[in-house]
């Protein structure tokens, strides 16, 4: 009499654990990044296929879940760095310096964002620098100070965030997506001092 009930119970437990496991797998897969084939250049990562018609199902799900309208590949490319050039995570208590070059693009913008991609709150209400407003040295090179407290020259505040990410958007860029990007063509992020 007992044996069949055991089987039912085992079937139920199997189905439930399968369901939970499957959903957990989906949640972790969509937690970071956008599916497959990121473009990596040092600390900078881009997901060019999010802006293309042939976007894969994982990237589609990640974009839908986040409520994002990705940048079309024909308009530009978005690179995100959540670590410095040495590989250490960007820490809000530290001062950083970002230095040229930036890959060829008609325009570019640099944003200090949270890990979720929202602008970081700060007293100066500055969230972004564009290629048009950046101050350059003779020869075109430039540096951007990423600090909590105001600096003269190119400066973006990192606010009170404990950690942050840098978002570099290249608009109308001729960057070749089929080749591995050259790390030296991307800005270097160096840690200066930590509070």
Partner 1 sequence: MTPRDRAYALFPWVAAAVLIAGVVHLVSVLLIPHVAPRDAYRRLLERAKSGPTASGAMLLPRAVPGVQALTREDPAMVAGACVFDLSKGLFHVRASVGDDEFLGLSFHAATGPIFHAVTDRGANKGKIDIVVGDARQIEDLAEADEDDATPQETRVTAPGPKGFVMIRALAKRPSDAERATQAVMAVRCETMPAEE
Q: Given the rule CB under 8 A, which residues bind partner 1? A: 10-11, 13-15, 17-19, 21-23, 25-26, 29-30, 51-55, 57-58, 60-61, 63-76, 78, 106-107, 109, 111, 113, 116-121, 127-128, 130, 132-133, 167, 169, 171-172
- From the CB of 59, what's the least distance to partner 1, in Å? 8
- From the CB of 109, what's the least distance to partner 1, in Å? 4
Alpha-carbon distance of 149 to 79, in angstroms, equals 25
* Of residues 7 and 180, the one with the C-beta less far from partner 1: 7
Beta-carbon-side half-sphere exposure of residue 146 (alpha carbons within 13 Å):
31
For 11, the enclosing helix (H) or strand (E) is: helix 3-31
Alpha-carbon distance of 17 to 141, in angstroms, equals 57
- From the CB of 72, what's the least distance to partner 1, in Å? 3
* Of residues 21 and 37, the one with the C-beta less far from partner 1: 21
* Of residues 40 and 118, the one with the C-beta less far from partner 1: 118
* Of residues 85 and 169, the one with the C-beta less far from partner 1: 169
* Of residues 85 and 175, the one with the C-beta less far from partner 1: 175
SS3 assignment for 115-181 = CCCCECCCCCCCCEEECCCCCCCCCCCCEEEEECCCCCCCEEECCCCCECEEEEEEECCCCCCCCCC
- From the CB of 45, what's the least distance to partner 1, in Å? 14
- From the CB of 80, what's the least distance to partner 1, in Å? 9
* Of residues 66 and 183, the one with the C-beta less far from partner 1: 66
CA distances 42 to 150, 170, 184, 188, 189, Å, are 27, 16, 8, 8, 10
Judged by DSSP in three states, 98 sits in strand
Alpha-carbon distance of 39 to 116, in angstroms, equals 19
- From the CB of 64, what's the least distance to partner 1, in Å? 4
Alpha-carbon distance of 40 to 105, in angstroms, equals 18
């Amino acid at each position: 009499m007992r044996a069949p009930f055991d089987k039912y119970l085992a079937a139920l437990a199997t189905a439930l654990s399968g369901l939970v496991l499957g959903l957990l797998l989906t949640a972790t897969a969509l937690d970071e990044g956008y599916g497959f084939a990121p473009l990596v250049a040092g600390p900078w990562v881009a997901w060019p296929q999010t802006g293309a018609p042939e976007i894969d199902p994982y990237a589609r799900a990640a974009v839908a879940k986040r409520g994002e309208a990705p940048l079309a590949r024909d308009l530009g490319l978005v690179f995100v760095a959540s670590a410095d050039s040495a590989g250490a995570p960007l820490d809000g208590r530290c001062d950083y310096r970002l230095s040229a070059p930036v890959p060829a693009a008609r325009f570019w913008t640099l944003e200090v964002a949270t890990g979720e991609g929202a602008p970081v709150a700060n007293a100066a209400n500055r969230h972004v620098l564009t290629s048009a407003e950046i101050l350059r040295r003779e020869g075109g090179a430039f540096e951007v100070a990423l600090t909590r407290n105001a600096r003269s020259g190119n400066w973006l505040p990192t606010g009170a965030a404990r950690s942050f990410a840098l978002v570099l958007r290249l608009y109308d860029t001729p960057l070749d997506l089929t080749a591995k990007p050259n790390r030296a063509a991307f800005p270097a992020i160096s840690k200066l001092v930590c509070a």
